[in-house]
Amino acid sequence: MTALRAAFFENLQKLGRALMLPIAVLPVAGLLLRLGQPDLFDVPMVAAAGAAIFSNLGLLFAVGIGVGLARENNGAAGLAAIVGYFVTTQGAATLMVVPPAALEALLSQSLEGMSDPALDIAVNAFKERQLGKLSVPVGIVSGLLAGWLYNRYSNIRLPDYLAFFGGRRFVPIASGVCGLFAAAVFGLGWPLLETGMDHLSRAVVDAGEFGLFLYGVLNRVLIVTGLHHILNNIAWFLLGDFEGATGDLRRFFEGDPSAGVFMSGFFPVMMFGLPAACLAMYHSAPSGRRRAVGGLLISMALTSFLTGVTEPIEYTFMFLAPVLYAIHALLTGVSMVVMDLLGVRLGFGFSAGLFDYLLNFNISTRPLWLLPIGTAYFAIYYSMFRYFIVRFDLPTPGRDAATAQSGSVPQAPARDVAALVDALGGAGNLRSVDACTTRLRLAVNDQALVQPELLRRLGAHGVIQPTGNTVQVVLGPVADQVATDIRSHIAAAKPAEQLSPTQASAPPVLDAGKSLPTETVRQWIAAFGGADNVVAADTLAGRLRFQVLDRSAVNENAMHSLGMRTLTWVAADIAHVLAPGLGPGRRSLLIEKDTVSGRVGKS
């Protein structure tokens, strides 16, 4: 049961990470849409470009989730998601039954005596509107199916006469077939699905201020696990309906005067509350250390105030003072309620920072109320943090032991990539490296090799180990760049740099013209998923050749540690590996399952 819970949680985290990929395009969409409006620069082309992104959010979700969930983030999953999305949406449109009452309401007249062309136009308009409402749910489902299909069938082998359609080419085909079933569900079941979405929206609205309060609290609490993205996507892209646009965020930019309730409450917290917390930390540090921590705290405060990215601040006290963080979560819920009671409607394309506040000022409702409410939140957060830090002697930046001894704190979070990889247990310990907005999301082989304290000294704002084989490292907005640097470092690093202390004493990997040492054989077999996964292997023409059952079980990082230069898949289940020391002479090493564990057969 524990293993099932860990797997379920890991899959939820993957979904939350994948959802961030399509959401990352929303800032440019909001920027283009607003800059092109008549109240700003009045450039219709620019406004239309931004509107095009919002109009195709479902397609963006399909591609983003498909690629985000696929092994190695392979683009074939994105293509499969597009195929599934189009098959589902267009198939569902043909199956939709248009109620006569809906057509009469749409045309404001009776259907009797109406010409066929006018009726066709009305039917198409109705279906287009319904497709707009289901586009995001269909996109999410298409992305989930494409990611799963790629991970499950990208290595499939078909009979020789169908071999062209095997491997990754099979995935879009399978996605299209699945799309037919999804089309039947969405097309025939749309009245039920629409009713369900309507009931969900009404339930949230009927929950009133308590519902908003609960949303604000959960939004902050779930940050610990990274699952707040899933909650946000329900509120921002699914709830409510305004002229075919669903979700609080989409409806806000479409001009719905009731939209913004799930965004407005974040502005007082992110623009005023958390920057005040940084000021309290600064004043709470001994005078001799304030200069050392000032740059770090100012950077975090400005990031929160300008862009609404708050995790670097929150992780400075989340685990040091859980009670303080609980109060912060409660105050976020209160802010949601207060802004709603005052009729304030603010929105954003990225997050609740100054940039979005100014950009969307003219389409907001009562935006100036943010100033007095924000001032009050600044005072509340400053006094609360000041009291708790001093009263309970919390080791916030400037008061921690590391700063007391060195007199300085890291100013550039985790930019020493080699040191960061070492702190994570070395390249061989990293199974996958991904990132969301502010944190690295890692899968590791051994949690014991991860050094949280060293990571913090390197500039990490927080280290979370949600399950036995996953680690999250909070770095701030640079997380995605650091993830890219880590992957590049792993690929380019010399074998000696990637060896752990125990591996450093291992025998030479390969010796041209000689049989491979048994221990080296075992290490290569382990890298290819173990004895149960290896069908056969041999050395030929200066390379290793492995045939496996499951390609997803192969650990390329472990191969780098063994000296791998390149890995080439010549077939769905056959890989060729180039490694140092392998000469052109042919020395066969056929490995059978019954000899892998103890002896090596040679021919």
Q: For position 514, which CATH number holds?
A: 3.30.1360.60
pLDDT the model gives residue 590: 39
468 and 527 share a domain?
A: no
- DSSP helix, strand, coil percent of the chain (3-state; round to 5): 60, 10, 30
pLDDT the model gives residue 14: 78
The HSE-up count of residue 257 (CA atoms within 13 Å, CB side) is: 3
Domain membership flag for residue 35: yes
Domain membership flag for residue 127: yes
**What is the rounded CA–CA span in Å between residue 361 and residue 345?**
10
Task: Identify the CA nearest to 275 among candidates 285, 267, 263.
Answer: 267
How many separate domains does the chain show?
3
127 and 52 share a domain?
A: yes
Of the candidates 23, 174, 331, 436, the residue annotated as catalytic is 436
Question: Which residue, 461, 493, 525, sits at the end of a domain?
Answer: 493
Task: Identify the CA nearest to 561 among candidates 484, 505, 480.
Answer: 505
**What is the rounded CA–CA span in Å between residue 532 and residue 548?**
9
Domain membership flag for residue 100: yes
Largest CA distance in the chain: 90
436 and 529 share a domain?
A: no
Task: Identify the CA nearest to 72 among candidates 556, 417, 547.
Answer: 556
pLDDT the model gives residue 595: 43
488 and 517 share a domain?
A: no
585 and 454 share a domain?
A: no
For residue 159, what are its two tokens?
């009979």
pLDDT the model gives residue 301: 95
In sequence order, which ranges of 75-189 are alpha helices (DSSP H)? 75-95, 100-107, 116-153, 170-188
Three-class SS of residue 318?
Answer: coil
Task: Identify the CA nearest to 335 among candidates 310, 317, 360, 315.
Answer: 310
481 and 585 share a domain?
A: no
pLDDT the model gives residue 401: 56
**Tokens 């892209």 found at:** 237
Domain membership flag for residue 289: no
pLDDT the model gives residue 585: 37
pTM to 2 decimals?
A: 0.72
Domain membership flag for residue 427: yes
Question: Which residue, 493, 527, 547, sits at the end of a domain?
Answer: 493
Domain membership flag for residue 602: no
203 and 55 share a domain?
A: yes
**What is the rounded CA–CA span in Å between residue 491 and residue 556?**
9
For residue 91, what are its two tokens?
């198939």
453 and 516 share a domain?
A: no
Long-range contacts (CB closer than 8 Å, 24 or more residues apart) made by 357-361: 357/267, 357/271, 359/30, 359/31, 359/34, 359/35, 360/30, 360/34, 360/252
Tell me which residue range forms the domain holding 514.
Answer: 506-596
Q: Cα–Cα distances in Å, from 454 out to 167, 419, 420, 446?
A: 42, 9, 8, 16
Domain membership flag for residue 529: yes
pLDDT the model gives residue 306: 95
73 and 173 share a domain?
A: yes
For residue 230, what are its two tokens?
């899933």
420 and 532 share a domain?
A: no
**What is the rounded CA–CA span in Å between residue 599 and residue 134?**
59
**What is the rounded CA–CA span in Å between residue 523 and residue 509?**
9
Dihedral sign computed on CA atoms, order 594, 599, 600, 603: negative
474 and 555 share a domain?
A: no
Is position 436 annotated as part of the catalytic site?
yes
Domain membership flag for residue 299: no
- pLDDT, averaged per 10 consecutive residues of the chain (603 residues), comes to 66 79 88 92 94 93 93 90 97 87 60 66 81 90 96 90 91 97 93 84 84 94 82 90 89 94 97 96 90 88 94 85 90 97 95 96 96 97 93 83 49 67 86 83 87 86 83 86 86 51 39 53 83 77 75 83 73 74 40 40 35
109 and 161 share a domain?
A: yes
